[in-house]
Amino acid sequence: KKKKAARSGPKAFIEKEGAAQIALIGMTKSGKSSLLSALTNAKVEISPDPYATREAVPGIMNYQDIQFQIIEAPALMEGSADGKAWGLQTLGIARNADGLILVVDVSQDPVKQLSTILAEMEKARILVSKPKAQVEIERNFMGFGLRISIMGKLVDCNFKDVEELLRSYRVVDAFVRISGEATLQEIEDAVFESNVYKPAVIIANKIDLKGADGKLKLLKAHVQNNLPLIATSSMDCTGLEKLGETLFSMLNIMRIYTKEPNEKEYSKKPFILKKGSTIYDLAKYIHSDFKENFNFARVWSKRLAFSPQKVGALFALQDGDIVEIHLR
């Protein structure tokens, strides 16, 4: 007997491409499909029917010399976090993304839409408000054992408490960076990745429709600059030119260009790293051999007194730097 082909389920995750993966999250008929079509090269079926998008749809958006991958997720609704319809799939896409575009239809009730989106994400422990404390754990850190850097304040504990907590969960070869005001519970949550913070921008879509102006004012008053907000129309592309710069800024990323030793020109395709990254981070990102056999680097940058400058592994990089790595 011939075996029946296994039925594949809906796409819950899309492999990441470009500088960052950004999820379009919104309720039905908010204009996500039209936005994806206007922003990217994606072949999008735009339907008048509600809940037409049933699985993730990817597209590529160009911004200067980098690209963002934009993923349209199926619509959120009340009860998504409890498993209603495809809600868990959509929230999984949001959790996996590097950032979020929260789409609301400003011709309807944008405040209610936004409140529903944020409530469902909060139930799924996805936060868009930057937490007071940020705890980053980089495991298998150069074989140096456990290193803890506190760049803020410990609220209800001390350094020894943090070290004992981490070791109790077998976090023994890692670099732990704590910034802001952190509680012991927040540090424990970071070990298990319980809560995730996702930078987000609100797209107030359909501003070309009747009655949108007044509702846009209500939305802005509700948001109060807590999140970046762009008023757009996917029909005539109004406001969309602001999105690339907003994404680049909110993602806290930078472009680093590399150059081969003895070559005159540097690569025009940058590596994308988080702001604050070092030469070591770049070397590790390029290849494990670079990390293990690193000797020194040369950096070209307008901010330096002279270029190139010979630097070590812990030299902090900035957007636009050109780096030439030398191995042992």
Region 239-265: what's the mean pLDDT? 94
CA nearest 57: which of 38, 75, 74?
Answer: 74
Q: What is the pTM of this model?
A: 0.82
Sequence length of the chain is 328
Q: In the beta sheet, which residues pair with residue 153?
A: 181
Answer CATH for 20-129+196-250 from 3.40.630.30, 3.40.50.300, 3.20.20.70, 3.90.850.10: 3.40.50.300
The mean predicted confidence, pLDDT, of the chain is: 89
pLDDT of residue 147: 87
Which residues of the chain does CATH 3.40.50.300 include?
A: 20-129+196-250
Instruction: List phi, psi (to 5°) of 97.
Output: -75, 160
| pLDDT at position 4 over 60 | no
Residue 71 region by backbone torsions, left for phi larger than 0, else alpha for psi between -120 and 50, else beta: beta
pLDDT of residue 12: 60
193-249 residue pLDDT tens: 778 889 999 999 999 998 899 999 999 999 998 999 999 998 888 899 999 999 999
Q: What is the DSSP letter of 80?
A: G
Which residues of the chain does CATH 3.10.20.30 include?
A: 253-327
Q: Which of 3-17, 118-132, 174-188 has the lowest mean pLDDT?
A: 3-17
Find which of 209-213, 255-259, 290-294 is predicted with most confidence, using mean pLDDT: 255-259
Give the integer Cα–Cα distance in Å for 314 and 282.
10
Residue 192 or residue 23, greater confidence: 23
Answer CATH for 253-327 from 3.40.190.10, 3.10.20.30, 3.40.50.300, 1.20.1440.230: 3.10.20.30
| pLDDT at position 104 over 90 | yes
| pLDDT at position 1 over 80 | no
Q: Which of 136-150, 206-220, 270-284 has the lowest mean pLDDT?
A: 136-150
Give the integer Cα–Cα distance in Å for 122 and 102.
14
Q: Give the CA angle between residues 54, 239, 224 to the nearest 5°.
A: 90
pLDDT of residue 6: 39
